[in-house]
Amino acid sequence: MTTMESLIGLVNRIQRACTVLGDHGGGESAFSSLWEALPSVAVVGGQSSGKSSVLESIVGRDFLPRGSGIVTRRPLVLQLHKTEEGSEEYAEFLHLPKRRFTDFALVRKEIQDETDRVTGKTKQISPIPIHLSIYSPNVVNLTLIDLPGLTKVAVEGQPESIVKDIEDMVRSYVEKPNCIILAISPANQDIATSDAIKLAREVDPSGDRTFGVLTKLDLMDKGTNALDYNFSAKLVTAVHVTPFALPLVITAREFVLEGRAYRLQHPWVGIVNRSQAEINRNVDMMAARRKEREYFATSADYSHLASRMGSEYLAKLLSKHLESVIRARIPSITSLINKNIDELEAELDRLGRPVGADAGAQLYTILELCRAFDKVFKEHLDGGRPGGDRIYGVFDNQLPAALRKLPFDRYLSLQNVKKVVTEADGYQPHLIAPEQGYRRLIEGALNYFKGPAEASVDAVHFVLKELVRKSIAETKELKRFPTLQNELAGAAYQALEKFRDESRKTITRLVDMESSYLTVDFFRRLPQEMEKVGNPAANNVDRYAEGHFRRIASNVSSYVNMVSDTLRNSIPKAVVHCQVREAKHSLLNYFYTQIGKREGKQLGQMLDEDPALMERRQQCAKRLELYKSARDEIESVSWAR
Ligand code: GDP
Ligand code: MG
């Protein structure tokens, strides 16, 4: 069977966990509030209506700050835990988890101090609740929230807005559909002016969740000078004559509430608290309870109702009601919790799970991340993602265009050919063919190829660098690790530079190779062709004429074109071999050997994340823990049923 203790204890535990997480309802949190889903009992009433007195007599202890003006300036969440008969009574604040208060005068002082800690001494109010648990054999399991008293005027030193601020704060509690309202009205005042009833009626028009409490019955009975005594008298008469005879009660209530229909579904409870004089005399709470019991038992008006009057009865009534409300709410609380768990799990997946603290786990994570990056990078090169085609663009467009633009026309102009050939001959002009002249001309021409070759190397380097940058940005898993992103980019760029240097050396060598050994066949074919074309007799004359140099220029030009064709094919091969293939296979090799040598602390630093993201993840994780433990709690209670 589910006991009352286990159900209310369940809500108490969840509420405490909520407060630890800063969830005390209200919209300021980015998370949906579990707190708001939980039932609670809020004490509402005008100043000096007897709220603190009611709370204290329910607890059976003196512990609330007293004084004139607004004494309660922060909500006080008071959780009562019934302990075994004979065990010692003590109190605990949530903000002082290690300290047990057995002296209740110190509890009162701590409430005051803790109020001031948040609000300052300025008599401001704050919606952040103070959590106080009282463990005692003399209480019933119950959670009550003491709220600032509703007031009509600001006292000295308080801003004018305080009247509205208090009302807003109180309303923010009582307007929640899960809030049970304990509406306190002093019996010696006109109930039609009761702040508590006015507000309760506004937020709970059906009266389903409002409990009416009349304090100061003793004062009324003594015939104090109550102005509109009649209204209250009629009400109380109705209550005590036939407390459950609804029609009569309704009539009375409707009457007192200016004729508008407002019925409470629960019977009113009358209370007699300690008078100011008794407080001053330090009459203890147990004695006061006794006195209250005696009052109802011996009163001519109330004796027949004695079992349904007084603070002890009120406590039991509330506890029982709270239990049934909680029982009814459990399915919806469970489904809210499950929904939140799902959402938080999804968000945590999105944010990335926390990384283990040991070096092994960190190294593993880093390697996994590198692999993820590497996969994206390869997809860019091999297709599947755009980018690799730009490398082909270098070979197919840029390189041929650059080769075409080389200034061979100028270099092989008649004038230059003549100059180079003549200079190469020295003092002895050539006899048959200008062997040296050809060599010089060709070597000079081949040098021009270095430019486009190097430009190809640089262009591909640039594309690869860009792909590294893009791949890092596109690797989802890396998003949360800016430091690792930087390190990875740095390492990859460094590797690419190494590949570029290799590539440069290789293409320089390719070009140099063309100069170091010329294709013999090409030149062997030349004399025959010349013979075919010209008249051999004219040759000697020609040797020093324009036609001779023109022929040399044209021969060199066709040789250079042949080399150009070769290089147009071999430069891409060299570039792919040295840069692209290496990038694909060993971009991070050096990085891997480096991080293998790092200490745990350095690895941890590489996995540094954006503080805001870490904060959010921590919040999600904590909240998830709360919901999971709440779910476990609820399950264990449900199992006990
Ligand atoms: P709060 O401002 O609503 O918390 O009101 P308190 O509980 O501080 O009570 C205000 C004053 O009314 C105190 O002097 C109490 O002694 C007195 N008081 C409260 N309830 C009763 C009651 O039932 N009978 C008598 N005689 N005095 C009461
Ligand atoms: Mg008070």
The response to whether residue 150 sits with its C-beta less than 6 Å from ligand 1 reads no
- Say how many Å lie between the CA of residue 119 and the centre of ligand 2: 17
The response to whether residue 52 sits with its C-beta less than 6 Å from ligand 1 reads yes
- Atom of ligand 1 minimally distant from the CA of 219: 26
DSSP state of 306: G
The response to whether residue 273 sits with its C-beta less than 6 Å from ligand 1 reads yes
Residue 247: the pLDDT is 31
Q: How far apart are CA 72 and CA 124, in angstroms?
A: 10
- Say how many Å lie between the CA of residue 220 and the centre of ligand 2: 21
Residue 253: the pLDDT is 37
Residue 137: the pLDDT is 84
Which residue has the CA at smallest separation from atom 25 of ligand 1?
275
Q: How many CB atoms lie within 10 A of CB 446?
A: 21
Mutate to test the pocket of ligand 1, among 48, 49, 53 (most ligand atoms within 8 A of CB): 53
Short-list 203, 202, 133, 169, CA closest to 24: 169
pLDDT band at 243 (very low <50, low <70, confident <90, very high): very low
Residue 241: the pLDDT is 34
Mutate to test the pocket of ligand 1, among 64, 273, 282, 289 (most ligand atoms within 8 A of CB): 273
Q: How far apart are CA 163 and CA 413, in angstroms?
A: 100
Q: pLDDT digit string (tens) for 199-241?
A: 998 999 888 899 988 898 888 655 433 223 233 333 444 343 3
Question: For the chain, what is the mean pLDDT?
Answer: 82
Residue 578 vs residues 140, 392, 556, 575, 584: alpha-carbon distances, Å: 82, 15, 31, 5, 11
pLDDT band at 446 (very low <50, low <70, confident <90, very high): very high
Short-list 476, 411, 475, CA closest to 444: 411
The response to whether residue 218 sits with its C-beta less than 6 Å from ligand 1 reads yes
Among the listed ranges 335-349, 379-393, 538-552, 591-605, which one has the minimum average pLDDT value? 538-552
Query: The tokens 């006061």 sit on which residue?
Result: 288
- Say how many Å lie between the CA of residue 57 and the centre of ligand 1: 11
Residue 555: the pLDDT is 93
Per-residue burial over 619-639, b if 16 or more Cβ lie within 10 Å, else e, is bbeebbebbeebbebbeebee
Residue 165: the pLDDT is 87
Which residue has the CA at smallest separation from atom 6 of ligand 1?
50
Mutate to test the pocket of ligand 1, among 44, 47, 48 (most ligand atoms within 8 A of CB): 48
Amino acid letter for position 91: A
Q: Is the pLDDT of residue 454 over 90?
A: yes
Q: Supply φ then ψ for residue 204, to 5 degrees.
A: -135, 70
Q: Is the pLDDT of residue 440 over 70?
A: yes
Among the listed ranges 42-56, 152-166, 254-268, 496-510, which one has the minimum average pLDDT value? 254-268
Q: Is the pLDDT of residue 435 over 50?
A: yes
Which residue has the CA at smallest separation from atom 13 of ligand 1?
276
Residue 258: the pLDDT is 33
Mutate to test the pocket of ligand 1, among 51, 57, 275 (most ligand atoms within 8 A of CB): 275
Residue 506: the pLDDT is 97
Could you tell me which residue, 113 or 633, shows the higher pLDDT?
113
Among the listed ranges 109-113, 138-142, 205-209, 526-530, which one has the minimum average pLDDT value? 526-530
Residue 257: the pLDDT is 33
- Atom of ligand 1 minimally distant from the CA of 46: 3
Could you tell me which residue, 461 or 248, shows the higher pLDDT?
461
Residue 437: the pLDDT is 92
Q: How far apart are CA 363 and CA 126, in angstroms?
A: 47
Residue 527: the pLDDT is 63
Helix 311-351 × helix 285-298 angle, to 10°: 130
Q: How far apart are CA 11 and CA 329, in angstroms?
A: 11
- Say how many Å lie between the CA of residue 166 and the centre of ligand 2: 13
Residue 311 vs residues 12, 317, 531: alpha-carbon distances, Å: 21, 10, 132
- Say how many Å lie between the CA of residue 458 and the centre of ligand 1: 88
Q: pLDDT digit string (tens) for 546-581?
A: 888 999 999 999 999 999 999 999 999 999 999 999
- Say how many Å lie between the CA of residue 606 and the centre of ligand 2: 55
Identity of the highest mean pLDDT range in 257-261, 315-319, 415-419, 431-435: 415-419
Q: How far apart are CA 187 and CA 194, in angstroms?
A: 10
Long-range CB contacts (within 8 A, 24+) of 612-617: 613/351, 613/480, 616/351, 617/348, 617/351, 617/352, 617/354
Amino acid letter for position 621: A
- Say how many Å lie between the CA of residue 46 and the centre of ligand 2: 9
Residue 26: the pLDDT is 47
Q: Is the pLDDT of residue 520 over 80?
A: yes
Domains of the chain: 4-215+272-342 (3.40.50.300), 360-606 (1.20.120.1240)
Please compute the mean of the pLDDT values over residues 247-251 and round it to a whole number. Answer: 32
Residue 43: the pLDDT is 93
Q: How many CB atoms lie within 10 A of CB 506?
A: 19
Q: Supply φ then ψ for residue 101, to 5 degrees.
A: -95, 120
Amino acid letter for position 577: H
Percent of the chain with pLDDT over 90: 35
Residue 142: the pLDDT is 75
Q: How far apart are CA 315 and CA 55, in angstroms?
A: 9
- Atom of ligand 1 minimally distant from the CA of 71: 2
Nearest ligand by distance to the CA of 186: 1
Residue 543: the pLDDT is 54
Q: How many CB atoms lie within 10 A of CB 290?
A: 11
Residue 567: the pLDDT is 96
The response to whether residue 279 sits with its C-beta less than 6 Å from ligand 1 reads yes
Q: Contact at 8 Å (CB) between 623 and 21?
A: yes
DSSP state of 223: T
Which residue has the CA at smallest separation from atom 14 of ligand 1?
276
Q: pLDDT digit string (tens) for 595-641?
A: 888 887 888 888 888 888 888 888 888 888 888 888 887 787 665 54
Q: pLDDT digit string (tens) for 274-298?
A: 988 888 888 888 888 899 999 888 8
- Atom of ligand 1 minimally distant from the CA of 278: 16
Residue 70 vs residues 145, 157, 164: alpha-carbon distances, Å: 16, 12, 13
Q: Contact at 8 Å (CB) between 255 and 234?
A: yes
Q: Is the pLDDT of residue 138 over 80?
A: no
Q: Contact at 8 Å (CB) between 481 and 428?
A: no
Residue 595: the pLDDT is 87
